[in-house]
Structure 1
Amino acid sequence: GSSDKTIRLWDASSGKQIQSLEGHSNYVTSVQFSPDGNRIVSSSWDKTIRLWDSSSGKQIQSLGGHSDIISSVQFSPNGNRIISSSVDKTIRLWDVSSGKQIQSFGGHSNYVTSVQFSPDGNRIVSSSWDKTIRLWNISSGKQIQSLDGHSDI
């Protein structure tokens, strides 16, 4: 992703650009391929998550729900869900096929900077400017653990 609002796909061996994905209206903050490589998910300062077809470069869906900048997105290990984190202090879980929000996780007291699925896809871990790392159960939506320890520099 980049500040020019585009996502560029490159051929690693030749170094040549293959595609440019356009649709976001502000900085692109996070990009990831789906586990099968058929889709790409991106997030932006424009408060949207966009799903793309990796072969054609066409936008499949635009997901909205966060009220501020989206800092990161990630596909679940099976590719059926997306998790997102935001400056709005929330984490959201999305169904890829319908584009609908499944769950919202609240508990951080400051910007959520990053979120990742566990390898089995049953938990997520989040980090925040509130100086915590939190572990969440996806099925219950409940926080399992909060790890404190980071301090201001």
Structure 2
Amino acid sequence: MAMEIDSAEYQLRCQLTGHEDDVRGICVCDNAGFATSSRDRTIRFWSSDESNKRSYTTSKILLGHTSFVGPLSWVAPSEELPEGGLVSGGMDTLILVWNLATGEKIQTLKGHKLQVTGIALDGSDVVSTSIDWYVTFLTFY
């Protein structure tokens, strides 16, 4: 049985633009904001707009993947990453670890032969999946 949704009850809050190709992933980053990944090879970190709390602006653009970026996972703040971080996977077979305070790539993890399709964190272990049929467990910092 399909659920009917009355669209009159919902209103578009904001629409974010900036990526130059289709968006492939999204990740909520605690209260700091959220990140999106795209076929344009970038990750954008979005923070609440100071002038309009119901909207967001790009506060960082993370560059490092050589092909489209897909799955993202939030790294909670720690001694090594006081503002938290991100882990991203891409078509380039790489898993990159990012420092959100600086927007810099801090680690490159290799373990797949083909596109990374999923990422999850278990403490400092990155669990990843790929179209190469493997699930990898890689440790960062």
Same fold (TM over 0.5): yes
* Unaligned stretches of 5+ residues in structure 2: 1-8, 78-82
Q: Name 2:98's counterpart in structure 1.
A: 94
Q: Deviations over 1:70-97 (max 9, x none)?
A: 0111211336010000000000000001
Structure number with greater Rg is 2
**Structure 1 stretches (4+) deviating beyond 4 angstroms?**
none
- Alignment size in residue pairs: 123
> Residue type of the partner of 2:33?
R
1:132 pairs, out of 121, 131, 134, with 134
* Structure with larger RCO (C-alpha < 8 A, sep 6+): 2
Q: 1:123: how far off?
A: 1.0
TM-score (norm 1): 0.76
Q: Name 1:123's counterpart in structure 2.
A: 125
Counterparts of 1:4-153 in structure 2, within 5 Å, are: 14-36=9-31, 38-54=32-48, 55=53, 56-78=55-77, 80-118=84-122, 120=123, 122-139=124-141
- SS of the residue corresponding to residue 18 of structure 1 reads coil
Whole-Å separation in 1 of the counterparts to 2:29 and 2:61:
16
* Unaligned stretches of 5+ residues in structure 1: 1-13, 140-153
> Which range moved further: 78-87 or 96-105?
78-87
